[in-house]
Amino acid sequence: MKNISKPLALKKRFKDAFVHSPVLLDIHGLSLTREDRRRLLHPLTGGVILFARNWQNKKQLIALCEEIKALRAELLICVDHEGGRVQRFKTDGFTHLPPMLSLGEQWSQRGAFAKHDDGLAVLEATNRATAMGFVMASELRACGVDFSFAPVLDLDHGRSDVIFDRAFHRDPRVVSLLSKSFMQGMMQAGMANCGKHFPGHGFVQADSHTELPIDHRALKDIMKEDVLPYKALSSSLMSVMPAHVIYPKVDSKQTGFSSIWLQKILRDQLGFTGAIISDDLSMKGARELEGQVLTYAKAAVQALNAGCDLLLLCNQSVIKAGQSHNDVLDVFLQELGAELLLGHWALNPSSEYRRRALLGQGPALTWSDLMRDPRYQQALHQTLTPGP
Protein backbone atom coordinates (compact mmCIF):
# COMPACT_ATOMS: atom_id res chain seq x y z
CA MET A 1 0.00 0.00 0.00
CA LYS A 2 1.33 3.44 -0.93
CA ASN A 3 2.33 5.40 2.16
CA ILE A 4 0.92 8.80 1.35
CA SER A 5 0.26 10.11 4.85
CA LYS A 6 3.89 10.71 5.95
CA PRO A 7 3.19 9.17 9.36
CA LEU A 8 6.15 10.85 11.10
CA ALA A 9 4.96 14.27 9.99
CA LEU A 10 1.42 13.44 11.05
CA LYS A 11 2.63 12.16 14.41
CA LYS A 12 4.49 15.42 14.94
CA ARG A 13 1.22 17.32 14.54
CA PHE A 14 -0.18 15.26 17.42
CA LYS A 15 2.91 15.34 19.64
CA ASP A 16 1.25 17.36 22.42
CA ALA A 17 -2.15 15.65 22.51
CA PHE A 18 -4.89 14.16 20.41
CA VAL A 19 -6.02 17.65 19.46
CA HIS A 20 -8.66 16.47 16.98
CA SER A 21 -9.66 12.89 16.19
CA PRO A 22 -12.67 13.29 13.87
CA VAL A 23 -13.13 9.83 12.33
CA LEU A 24 -15.76 7.36 13.53
CA LEU A 25 -15.22 4.07 11.69
CA ASP A 26 -16.51 0.50 11.78
CA ILE A 27 -14.81 -2.77 12.67
CA HIS A 28 -15.02 -6.13 10.99
CA GLY A 29 -16.56 -8.64 13.40
CA LEU A 30 -17.12 -9.85 16.95
CA SER A 31 -13.64 -9.00 18.21
CA LEU A 32 -10.82 -6.77 17.02
CA THR A 33 -8.61 -7.93 14.19
CA ARG A 34 -5.03 -6.77 13.78
CA GLU A 35 -6.25 -4.36 11.09
CA ASP A 36 -8.97 -3.00 13.40
CA ARG A 37 -6.42 -2.35 16.13
CA ARG A 38 -4.09 -0.51 13.78
CA ARG A 39 -6.91 1.75 12.58
CA LEU A 40 -8.17 2.46 16.09
CA LEU A 41 -4.68 3.54 17.13
CA HIS A 42 -4.49 6.04 14.28
CA PRO A 43 -4.51 9.59 15.72
CA LEU A 44 -7.32 10.69 13.39
CA THR A 45 -9.63 7.96 14.68
CA GLY A 46 -11.94 9.16 17.43
CA GLY A 47 -14.37 6.29 17.76
CA VAL A 48 -16.16 3.19 16.55
CA ILE A 49 -19.67 2.61 15.24
CA LEU A 50 -21.04 -0.87 15.88
CA PHE A 51 -23.46 -2.85 13.72
CA ALA A 52 -25.46 -6.06 14.03
CA ARG A 53 -22.49 -8.02 12.67
CA ASN A 54 -20.56 -6.93 15.78
CA TRP A 55 -23.20 -8.50 18.03
CA GLN A 56 -23.51 -12.10 19.25
CA ASN A 57 -24.60 -11.70 22.86
CA LYS A 58 -24.05 -9.45 25.87
CA LYS A 59 -20.90 -11.23 27.02
CA GLN A 60 -19.28 -10.84 23.62
CA LEU A 61 -20.34 -7.17 23.30
CA ILE A 62 -18.97 -6.32 26.74
CA ALA A 63 -15.66 -8.02 25.88
CA LEU A 64 -15.48 -6.14 22.57
CA CYS A 65 -16.10 -2.76 24.22
CA GLU A 66 -13.49 -3.53 26.88
CA GLU A 67 -11.04 -4.48 24.13
CA ILE A 68 -11.65 -1.15 22.36
CA LYS A 69 -11.27 0.90 25.54
CA ALA A 70 -8.08 -0.95 26.46
CA LEU A 71 -6.51 0.40 23.28
CA ARG A 72 -7.56 4.00 23.92
CA ALA A 73 -9.92 4.84 26.76
CA GLU A 74 -11.08 8.04 25.06
CA LEU A 75 -12.41 6.27 21.95
CA LEU A 76 -16.15 6.88 21.53
CA ILE A 77 -18.17 3.67 21.08
CA CYS A 78 -21.36 4.43 19.12
CA VAL A 79 -24.33 2.61 17.67
CA ASP A 80 -27.58 3.37 15.83
CA HIS A 81 -30.06 2.11 18.42
CA GLU A 82 -33.17 4.28 18.05
CA GLY A 83 -35.82 1.62 18.55
CA GLY A 84 -38.26 0.17 16.06
CA ARG A 85 -36.64 -0.65 12.72
CA VAL A 86 -33.28 0.81 13.71
CA GLN A 87 -31.97 -1.22 16.62
CA ARG A 88 -28.75 -3.22 16.31
CA PHE A 89 -28.99 -5.45 19.39
CA LYS A 90 -32.30 -7.29 19.83
CA THR A 91 -31.54 -10.57 21.61
CA ASP A 92 -30.07 -11.88 24.87
CA GLY A 93 -32.12 -9.59 27.07
CA PHE A 94 -32.09 -6.34 25.09
CA THR A 95 -35.53 -4.74 25.11
CA HIS A 96 -37.29 -4.51 21.75
CA LEU A 97 -37.98 -0.79 21.79
CA PRO A 98 -41.14 0.44 20.03
CA PRO A 99 -40.72 2.89 17.13
CA MET A 100 -40.84 6.54 18.13
CA LEU A 101 -44.07 7.03 16.15
CA SER A 102 -45.80 4.94 18.82
CA LEU A 103 -45.25 7.81 21.25
CA GLY A 104 -46.75 10.29 18.82
CA GLU A 105 -49.73 8.00 18.28
CA GLN A 106 -50.19 7.67 22.03
CA TRP A 107 -50.20 11.46 22.28
CA SER A 108 -52.68 11.93 19.41
CA GLN A 109 -55.07 9.06 20.14
CA ARG A 110 -55.69 10.38 23.62
CA GLY A 111 -56.65 13.80 22.29
CA ALA A 112 -53.80 15.90 23.58
CA PHE A 113 -55.21 19.01 21.90
CA ALA A 114 -58.91 18.28 22.49
CA LYS A 115 -60.95 21.13 23.98
CA HIS A 116 -61.77 19.33 27.22
CA ASP A 117 -58.51 17.44 27.60
CA ASP A 118 -57.05 17.67 31.09
CA GLY A 119 -53.45 17.36 29.94
CA LEU A 120 -52.93 13.86 31.31
CA ALA A 121 -52.44 12.39 27.83
CA VAL A 122 -49.46 14.66 27.22
CA LEU A 123 -47.94 13.74 30.56
CA GLU A 124 -48.39 10.01 29.88
CA ALA A 125 -46.70 10.22 26.47
CA THR A 126 -43.80 12.36 27.67
CA ASN A 127 -43.31 10.18 30.76
CA ARG A 128 -43.15 7.08 28.58
CA ALA A 129 -40.67 8.81 26.26
CA THR A 130 -38.37 9.44 29.22
CA ALA A 131 -38.70 5.80 30.26
CA MET A 132 -37.82 4.60 26.75
CA GLY A 133 -34.77 6.84 26.58
CA PHE A 134 -33.59 5.54 29.94
CA VAL A 135 -34.10 1.87 29.02
CA MET A 136 -32.29 2.27 25.69
CA ALA A 137 -29.33 4.14 27.14
CA SER A 138 -28.92 2.14 30.35
CA GLU A 139 -28.91 -1.21 28.51
CA LEU A 140 -26.27 0.02 26.07
CA ARG A 141 -24.11 1.53 28.80
CA ALA A 142 -24.31 -1.70 30.82
CA CYS A 143 -22.52 -3.35 27.88
CA GLY A 144 -19.90 -0.62 27.45
CA VAL A 145 -21.45 1.42 24.63
CA ASP A 146 -21.08 5.18 25.14
CA PHE A 147 -23.50 6.70 22.69
CA SER A 148 -26.51 6.11 20.43
CA PHE A 149 -27.41 8.28 17.45
CA ALA A 150 -30.85 9.24 18.78
CA PRO A 151 -33.40 10.72 18.75
CA VAL A 152 -34.77 11.37 15.26
CA LEU A 153 -36.16 14.92 15.04
CA ASP A 154 -37.50 14.59 11.48
CA LEU A 155 -41.18 15.30 11.00
CA ASP A 156 -43.51 12.60 9.71
CA HIS A 157 -44.68 14.34 6.55
CA GLY A 158 -46.00 11.02 5.26
CA ARG A 159 -43.61 11.12 2.29
CA SER A 160 -40.41 9.40 3.41
CA ASP A 161 -40.20 5.63 3.65
CA VAL A 162 -36.72 5.86 5.18
CA ILE A 163 -38.07 8.02 8.06
CA PHE A 164 -41.75 7.08 8.53
CA ASP A 165 -42.16 5.47 11.98
CA ARG A 166 -38.71 6.62 13.11
CA ALA A 167 -40.28 10.08 13.56
CA PHE A 168 -42.29 10.99 16.65
CA HIS A 169 -45.02 12.99 14.91
CA ARG A 170 -45.97 15.41 12.15
CA ASP A 171 -46.33 18.38 14.51
CA PRO A 172 -42.93 19.95 15.37
CA ARG A 173 -44.22 20.95 18.81
CA VAL A 174 -45.00 17.33 19.64
CA VAL A 175 -41.65 16.20 18.25
CA SER A 176 -39.88 18.78 20.41
CA LEU A 177 -41.60 17.76 23.64
CA LEU A 178 -41.37 13.99 23.12
CA SER A 179 -37.74 14.12 22.00
CA LYS A 180 -36.79 16.32 24.95
CA SER A 181 -38.39 13.77 27.26
CA PHE A 182 -36.58 10.93 25.48
CA MET A 183 -33.27 12.79 25.84
CA GLN A 184 -33.95 13.30 29.54
CA GLY A 185 -34.10 9.53 29.95
CA MET A 186 -30.82 9.15 28.06
CA MET A 187 -29.21 11.76 30.28
CA GLN A 188 -30.41 9.96 33.43
CA ALA A 189 -28.46 6.93 32.20
CA GLY A 190 -25.36 9.04 31.51
CA MET A 191 -25.68 9.10 27.72
CA ALA A 192 -25.46 12.10 25.40
CA ASN A 193 -27.94 12.62 22.57
CA CYS A 194 -27.90 13.24 18.82
CA GLY A 195 -30.68 15.06 16.99
CA LYS A 196 -30.99 14.01 13.36
CA HIS A 197 -31.28 14.69 10.43
CA PHE A 198 -30.82 18.49 10.36
CA PRO A 199 -32.64 20.47 9.05
CA GLY A 200 -35.15 17.70 8.26
CA HIS A 201 -35.28 14.56 6.11
CA GLY A 202 -38.99 13.81 6.46
CA PHE A 203 -40.29 15.89 3.52
CA VAL A 204 -38.25 14.21 0.76
CA GLN A 205 -39.20 10.82 -0.63
CA ALA A 206 -35.77 9.71 -1.90
CA ASP A 207 -33.54 7.62 0.37
CA SER A 208 -30.09 9.20 0.78
CA HIS A 209 -28.62 5.71 1.23
CA THR A 210 -29.15 5.18 -2.51
CA GLU A 211 -29.54 8.68 -4.04
CA LEU A 212 -29.20 12.36 -3.20
CA PRO A 213 -32.62 13.78 -2.22
CA ILE A 214 -33.58 17.35 -3.16
CA ASP A 215 -36.02 19.45 -1.13
CA HIS A 216 -37.31 22.44 -3.11
CA ARG A 217 -39.04 24.23 -0.25
CA ALA A 218 -38.19 27.81 0.68
CA LEU A 219 -36.06 28.48 3.75
CA LYS A 220 -38.94 30.16 5.61
CA ASP A 221 -41.09 27.03 5.23
CA ILE A 222 -38.30 24.74 6.47
CA MET A 223 -37.52 27.03 9.40
CA LYS A 224 -41.09 27.29 10.68
CA GLU A 225 -41.64 23.52 10.62
CA ASP A 226 -38.71 21.09 10.32
CA VAL A 227 -36.13 23.30 12.04
CA LEU A 228 -38.42 24.19 14.94
CA PRO A 229 -37.34 21.19 17.12
CA TYR A 230 -33.68 22.18 16.72
CA LYS A 231 -34.53 25.72 17.79
CA ALA A 232 -36.63 24.53 20.72
CA LEU A 233 -33.94 22.07 21.87
CA SER A 234 -30.83 24.14 21.16
CA SER A 235 -29.86 24.14 24.84
CA SER A 236 -30.55 20.40 25.27
CA LEU A 237 -28.97 18.86 22.17
CA MET A 238 -25.41 17.64 22.60
CA SER A 239 -24.87 16.65 18.98
CA VAL A 240 -26.59 17.01 15.62
CA MET A 241 -26.35 14.95 12.42
CA PRO A 242 -26.99 16.78 9.14
CA ALA A 243 -29.16 15.24 6.42
CA HIS A 244 -27.67 14.16 3.10
CA VAL A 245 -30.21 16.39 1.37
CA ILE A 246 -29.87 19.41 -0.93
CA TYR A 247 -32.12 22.42 -0.32
CA PRO A 248 -31.38 24.42 -3.50
CA LYS A 249 -33.26 27.53 -2.36
CA VAL A 250 -30.77 27.76 0.53
CA ASP A 251 -27.53 26.29 -0.87
CA SER A 252 -26.47 24.20 -3.86
CA LYS A 253 -24.48 21.96 -1.52
CA GLN A 254 -26.02 19.21 0.59
CA THR A 255 -26.34 20.09 4.26
CA GLY A 256 -23.23 18.22 5.42
CA PHE A 257 -21.09 20.26 3.01
CA SER A 258 -22.89 23.56 3.62
CA SER A 259 -21.41 26.22 5.90
CA ILE A 260 -24.66 28.15 5.39
CA TRP A 261 -26.65 25.40 7.12
CA LEU A 262 -24.04 24.33 9.67
CA GLN A 263 -22.42 27.64 10.61
CA LYS A 264 -24.79 30.46 9.67
CA ILE A 265 -28.06 28.74 10.58
CA LEU A 266 -27.33 25.94 13.07
CA ARG A 267 -24.55 27.60 15.07
CA ASP A 268 -25.08 31.35 14.60
CA GLN A 269 -28.85 31.63 14.23
CA LEU A 270 -30.01 28.72 16.41
CA GLY A 271 -27.15 28.98 18.92
CA PHE A 272 -26.19 25.29 18.83
CA THR A 273 -22.84 24.62 20.57
CA GLY A 274 -22.56 20.81 20.53
CA ALA A 275 -20.90 18.40 18.13
CA ILE A 276 -21.89 18.20 14.46
CA ILE A 277 -21.50 14.63 13.18
CA SER A 278 -21.64 13.89 9.46
CA ASP A 279 -23.97 11.13 8.37
CA ASP A 280 -22.28 8.10 6.80
CA LEU A 281 -19.92 9.27 4.05
CA SER A 282 -20.29 5.91 2.29
CA MET A 283 -23.96 6.60 1.50
CA LYS A 284 -24.81 7.37 -2.11
CA GLY A 285 -26.03 10.83 -1.24
CA ALA A 286 -23.03 11.65 0.90
CA ARG A 287 -20.28 12.37 -1.59
CA GLU A 288 -21.97 14.22 -4.44
CA LEU A 289 -20.85 17.81 -4.88
CA GLU A 290 -22.09 19.83 -7.84
CA GLY A 291 -22.58 16.71 -9.94
CA GLN A 292 -19.27 15.06 -9.06
CA VAL A 293 -18.70 12.08 -6.77
CA LEU A 294 -15.86 12.76 -4.35
CA THR A 295 -13.47 10.30 -2.76
CA TYR A 296 -14.13 9.57 0.91
CA ALA A 297 -11.22 11.79 1.95
CA LYS A 298 -12.27 14.71 -0.28
CA ALA A 299 -15.83 14.42 1.05
CA ALA A 300 -14.47 14.39 4.60
CA VAL A 301 -12.50 17.59 3.96
CA GLN A 302 -15.62 19.27 2.58
CA ALA A 303 -17.58 18.25 5.67
CA LEU A 304 -14.90 19.38 8.11
CA ASN A 305 -14.48 22.75 6.43
CA ALA A 306 -18.25 23.26 6.36
CA GLY A 307 -18.41 22.83 10.13
CA CYS A 308 -18.62 19.12 10.95
CA ASP A 309 -16.67 18.08 14.04
CA LEU A 310 -16.87 14.32 13.45
CA LEU A 311 -17.04 12.08 10.38
CA LEU A 312 -18.87 8.79 10.01
CA LEU A 313 -17.57 6.24 7.51
CA CYS A 314 -19.43 2.95 7.86
CA ASN A 315 -19.27 -0.63 6.58
CA GLN A 316 -15.86 -0.26 4.98
CA SER A 317 -13.99 -2.85 7.07
CA VAL A 318 -16.05 -5.77 5.76
CA ILE A 319 -14.12 -8.30 3.69
CA LYS A 320 -16.47 -9.49 0.97
CA ALA A 321 -16.53 -12.87 -0.71
CA GLY A 322 -13.54 -13.27 -3.00
CA GLN A 323 -11.49 -10.61 -1.19
CA SER A 324 -8.38 -11.44 0.79
CA HIS A 325 -8.27 -8.02 2.47
CA ASN A 326 -9.96 -4.62 2.45
CA ASP A 327 -7.84 -1.47 2.75
CA VAL A 328 -10.54 1.19 2.15
CA LEU A 329 -10.29 2.54 5.70
CA ASP A 330 -6.48 2.51 5.62
CA VAL A 331 -6.46 4.51 2.39
CA PHE A 332 -9.06 6.90 3.80
CA LEU A 333 -7.03 7.59 6.95
CA GLN A 334 -3.86 8.04 4.92
CA GLU A 335 -5.48 10.40 2.45
CA LEU A 336 -7.20 12.42 5.18
CA GLY A 337 -3.83 12.73 6.93
CA ALA A 338 -2.24 13.89 3.68
CA GLU A 339 -5.00 16.50 3.24
CA LEU A 340 -4.19 17.75 6.75
CA LEU A 341 -0.49 18.06 6.01
CA LEU A 342 -1.30 19.93 2.79
CA GLY A 343 -3.34 22.44 4.77
CA HIS A 344 -6.67 21.52 3.18
CA TRP A 345 -8.26 21.23 6.62
CA ALA A 346 -7.11 22.12 10.13
CA LEU A 347 -7.13 20.41 13.50
CA ASN A 348 -9.79 21.89 15.77
CA PRO A 349 -9.36 21.49 19.55
CA SER A 350 -12.98 22.65 20.04
CA SER A 351 -14.15 19.72 17.91
CA GLU A 352 -12.15 17.34 20.06
CA TYR A 353 -13.70 18.81 23.20
CA ARG A 354 -17.15 18.27 21.71
CA ARG A 355 -16.28 14.67 20.80
CA ARG A 356 -15.13 13.82 24.31
CA ALA A 357 -18.29 15.38 25.76
CA LEU A 358 -20.20 12.53 24.08
CA LEU A 359 -18.47 9.82 26.11
CA GLY A 360 -20.52 8.01 28.74
CA GLN A 361 -20.93 10.11 31.86
CA GLY A 362 -20.51 8.58 35.31
CA PRO A 363 -20.29 4.89 36.21
CA ALA A 364 -22.69 2.52 34.46
CA LEU A 365 -24.45 -0.33 36.22
CA THR A 366 -23.46 -3.83 35.24
CA TRP A 367 -26.19 -5.79 33.45
CA SER A 368 -26.98 -7.90 36.52
CA ASP A 369 -27.20 -4.80 38.73
CA LEU A 370 -29.34 -3.06 36.12
CA MET A 371 -31.84 -5.94 36.14
CA ARG A 372 -32.27 -5.42 39.91
CA ASP A 373 -32.49 -1.64 39.70
CA PRO A 374 -36.04 -0.41 40.64
CA ARG A 375 -35.74 2.66 38.41
CA TYR A 376 -34.92 0.47 35.39
CA GLN A 377 -37.74 -1.95 36.17
CA GLN A 378 -40.24 0.89 36.41
CA ALA A 379 -38.97 2.42 33.16
CA LEU A 380 -39.15 -0.95 31.42
CA HIS A 381 -42.77 -1.38 32.51
CA GLN A 382 -43.65 2.10 31.23
CA THR A 383 -41.84 1.41 27.93
CA LEU A 384 -43.74 -1.77 27.22
CA THR A 385 -47.10 -0.70 28.69
CA PRO A 386 -48.37 2.48 26.99
CA GLY A 387 -51.56 2.63 29.05
CA PRO A 388 -52.35 5.20 31.77
Catalytic residues: 209, 279
H helices present in 119-218, as ranges: 120-142, 172-188
What amino acid is encoded at 150 in this protein? A
Distances in Å between the Cα of 170 and the Cα atoms of 161, 227, 384 are 14, 13, 23
Cis peptide before 197 (omega within 30 of 0): yes
Classify 133 as helix, strand or coil: helix
CA distance 333 to 189: 33
- Helix axes 296-306 and 328-341, enclosed angle (nearest 10): 50
What amino acid is encoded at 286 in this protein? A
- Torsion angle, CA of 145/147/149/153, rounded to 10 degrees? 140
Report which secondary-structure segment, H or E, holds 50. Answer: strand 45-50
Distances in Å between the Cα of 136 and the Cα atoms of 106, 179, 262, 288 are 19, 14, 28, 34
Cβ-based neighbours of 217, under 8 Å, separated by 6 or more:
203, 247, 249
